[in-house]
Chain A
Amino acid sequence: MKMHHACRALTGILRREMRRTLRQRGRLFSAIVRPLVWLAIFAAGFRSVLGLSITPPYQTYVLYEVYVVPGLAAMMLLFHAMASSLAMVYDREMGSMRLLLTAPLPRWYLLAARLLASVIVGLPLVYLFLVIARYWDVRPPALGYVAVFPALLLSGLMLGAFGLLVSSVSTQMENFAGVMNFVIFPMFFASTALYPLWRLAEAGPVLATIAAWNPFSSAVELIRFALYLRFDAASALVVLICLLAFFLAAVVGYDPGRGLWSRRPGS
């Protein structure tokens, strides 16, 4: 694999992702409106006018709006990863995945490039959301917006790799709805995205345990800490390990000799 070839391919994949995303106005619109609706409705439903008790990285009492914003940013990454995974399943059914995979580059590299491109394309919207959230008085320090970038990227890659894995095992679009219902929504709700761990513990110790071990929680906390200029090493480690595990499994899934891809009958 030559360096300049790899770079050109990555740029090409990135440009294609960008064009495709920009042309999907409806998806872009719902991607930004979804977290805003959650912010407006959930925060109103969750009575927190007297302030949530102090949980790191917060150093003082915060309103629920402040608490939920990093979780909603992670939710955006999660939905983006799933939309992109769906696009991959669609691409495969439509055939354009074949085009990508017959490029003269190692397959793992092509998958990694596609993953990275998809995450990068999703990040501007997360930033837009973070900026709009300032109107809800969610105002992390200015440098937090810089510090959150690697956290968003790493979390996005982890969730994207998960989506890639899902796309490698789900043979049809129909399976995808099942994955959304039985994997994505539980992953989101049983996490620290919407409620702090102490609140989940009040609801049930089992739920709190699930949330504590849920890699999505790690992504949320990594983003939350970074936004407030703290580095959550434990979460970063979990996210990194999950990223590698999901990605390797996805590469196996797409391997021409192994994995489910090879067992699929040719059309």
Chain B
Amino acid sequence: MCILLGRNGAGKTTLFSLVTGLYHARAGSVLVFGHAMKSSPSTALAEMGVVFQQPTLDLDLTAGENLRYHAALHGLPKSLSKERSGEELSRLEVADRIDDPVRALSGGQRRRVEIARALMHRPRLLLLDEPTTGLDVPGRRALERHVRDLCRDGGIAVLWATHFLEEVAPTDNVVVLHEGSVRWGGRADRMAAAVGVADTAEAFASLTRSP
């Protein structure tokens, strides 16, 4: 689990767009599991599950239909797609909403459906761009717990972008991004010491202070 920490406008979403190949970096290159996004995006994309900051579910379609659409885009056969949509939704504890239109789901449920969708094709890397946006505190906690479980039990690498320091656990790897460049990287509990301040919050504040 890696946390991409940065204030709004730090370049987190741009980084996500580059990593998912929505557009190319003007300089340099992006490699995912050794595949260059410029030359072989499909191979890299097949290994990635993405949850964008903006919700991307079809509100008129049911949760199950949304999942199966995604599975089809990833070339999963029908039977497998059906089986996995059940599995993934139960893993995220929203299996009972499978036949409900997404419009009827709460914000937290929608996010969980999106994560379930991103896991349909069993990626090795899960990208989450500020997944807790718009959720209340209990919702945020629950989502965080779900993802941490996934990381631990499913053996999936997670890149979690956020601007909430409270979503960072002491043992997480953290990359602090500010104004498009990396300010610091390492274990969260070592950030304060590295910067030379008392606690993590102060460290983050000092790292993201504009010169």
Contacts and interface: CB of A to CB of B under 8 A. Distances in A.
Is this pair of chains taken from one and the same complex?
yes
Of listed A13, A19, A104, A267, residue having the most chain B CB within 10 A: A104
Contacts of B20: 98, 102
Interface in A1-44: 1-2, 4-6, 8-9, 11-13, 15-16, 19-20, 23-24
B74 interface: yes
A143 B25 CA distance: 54
A124 interface: no
Interface in B4-63: 13-14, 16-17, 20-24, 38, 41-46, 48, 50, 52-58, 60-61
B45 A104 contact: yes
A248 B50 CA distance: 28
A103 interface: yes
B191 interface: no
Contact residues on B (Cβ < 8 Å of other chain), bracket: 35 or more
A8 B76 contact: yes
A9 B22 contact: no
Contacts, number: 104
A99 interface: yes
A20 B65 CA distance: 11
A104 B23 contact: no
A104 B17 CA distance: 15
A209 interface: no
Of listed B14, B17, B20, residue having the most chain A CB within 10 A: B17
A20 to B, nearest CB: 6
Of listed A13, A96, A100, A266, residue having the most chain B CB within 10 A: A266
Contact residues on A (Cβ < 8 Å of other chain), bracket: 35 or more
Given A95-B55, A256-B22, A8 B75 contact: yes
A61 to B, nearest CB: 48
B73 interface: yes
Nearest to B71: A12
A106 interface: yes
A261 B22 CA distance: 8
Interface of B: 13-14, 16-17, 20-24, 38, 41-46, 48, 50, 52-58, 60-61, 65, 68-78
Interface of A: 1-2, 4-6, 8-9, 11-13, 15-16, 19-20, 23-24, 94-96, 98-106, 110, 256-257, 261-262, 264, 266-267
